[in-house]
Structure 1
């Protein structure tokens, strides 16, 4: 890549991602029937309602001043005001969220990227419990040159339990690079469940003891639904809800991230935000990097959603539709005796589609067979599952019923076979 005139950093990024991009582009140009994408974590169940609300907002609320840059240092003033009210209503913060705590950016990933840039020197790391969203691999490195330090609990199923704490201690102790923080995705991706309050508190204490940052990725906070399979599951608890100072911990090292992408099924709007309640310097750093990057059209649309009198109703309808879609998918998995992890807080689930896989190649073979049948899912290897947990895949179920039924029909041609290894 040196001949292309790129910096060493740019060349390293391109070298790392070009093979996968090239493969993806090749796939898109193949003359085959369109595949149904179950690999992308998007919620399609409320799109008509979201469009209706945001269309009206654009018509009625778009003003001449929206053609200018945002009117506040941390983003559009109306959007930030709406976000503060939204968090105070739905996230039950111990300390009320103020407008001065919020900085906006085009998506939660951009918020996190900016945070990493301001916390990590190149080559420094953030602890991330596995399995975790495969996008963190490139997100950490592309701009900030930070490193995700993978934390494995002995049994992946214990990642959301107190067993996480000794695993964090071990990873911190054995890290060969400086550790600057701990990133927890809550609700969890790809497990689709929530961390218990006690585990969150223990993680904050751990960070306080090590004098590192606690980073809470809460993009699925309201993507919840009642699931009888998880009748005793802990509810969602935001980091904002924790009495951090009452625990004797440093609130300036606790940060929360959210976006409209998942809970509002609007990832194309590119609206996210960070909440830092006791660290003015960090707030300024986050705002400075991306305060003019969120589109005014997206700000108007998102403000309309956040302030809509219909929002409680929309969230309830979304929960009901997610449960219906989840039931449709899990009935199919049960029919074929395929193990899956029950979820109640995500538009996807983790299933062991290749239960007899003894190698990553065998896992990939299953993923490829599904792709040939016209369905795209994400293999477990990409989420850094434990070495002895091969054969898993993440599948999104929050699709329109007709498209989900077609996906299941196509998967039937593969998973309905006697051998699924």
Structure 2
């Protein structure tokens, strides 16, 4: 009733005044409708109210379609441009905010700028800064990209009460591999699977990463956890022991499972290495403890499973000799298949988890790169300078 009477009064005024008053009324109406919802329904929800004052003040954001692609340790620009209508907007009143968005619609702050004031959050500190390629450029550069940087990012540009958003998907070149521990198959709940991948220099794979791996020929008959909490497995060659022979090839999906109580294997994802994996040449084979000491004496460490897969993928490491890895498993990488090296398909062969004391094999070592420029340091000092200058302000 109050809003209706208010608008009747406003219509008797001059048109410019009516537009302003109508906008205020619109805000009041939105506020009343929001406040009428139950408190529990609003918890955790993100609300954006757009208020237009006649035809002016619009913010338009444009981002790149598709995906931008890099690899771990690389640098990448997340492109985002904006313009105003009209164009004579004070740059000091423009706020640029970048946020990472997960599949569960959770938001992680990455970067925010208001005029010359800038702030970078969490693990992005020292690695993220504005590209500053001219007026209307809200693009950011991420230096030394990590596995965890993979995902979807939101670019939001705000001018007073006007805003617009765009999205950029960051993809990484990499490899997906199935993993299970020494204890055996189907022994990991979701959190254990997450930890297992991290311990092997990897992260839990996403559905899109697993799907791409399936398109590239990955065939695995055991179900494993993915990053979003679902359990899936890829079948390129249907057979009765893997869900019936007469079902089509594809990524089989068990849906979202209970993260604490249910147990499966894991599908891990890793990317390019900042270092090198190599087979340590020795005159004799060694047990696990001797293998660890041998790598240390050579200035390295025993390679992790994810590191061996990355070396197979990116270094094209091809070695027909079985060797110890950090988790106590025995594996070897084959790029060019031959009959004496485990079959007709390329891949990393897995011989299981033998007795660490009495079984003797070679060993794969990993030596980290000493090149300080790996991953790109150009711009890092600039990013740190921006951080030092930054002031704390309302996000």
TM-score bin (small chain)? under 0.3
The structure that is strand-richer by fraction is: 2
Q: Say which structure, 1 or 2, has more relative contact order (CA 8 Å, 6+ apart).
A: 1
- If the length of structure 2 is used for normalisation, what is the TM-score? 0.25
Q: Which has the larger radius of gyration?
A: 2
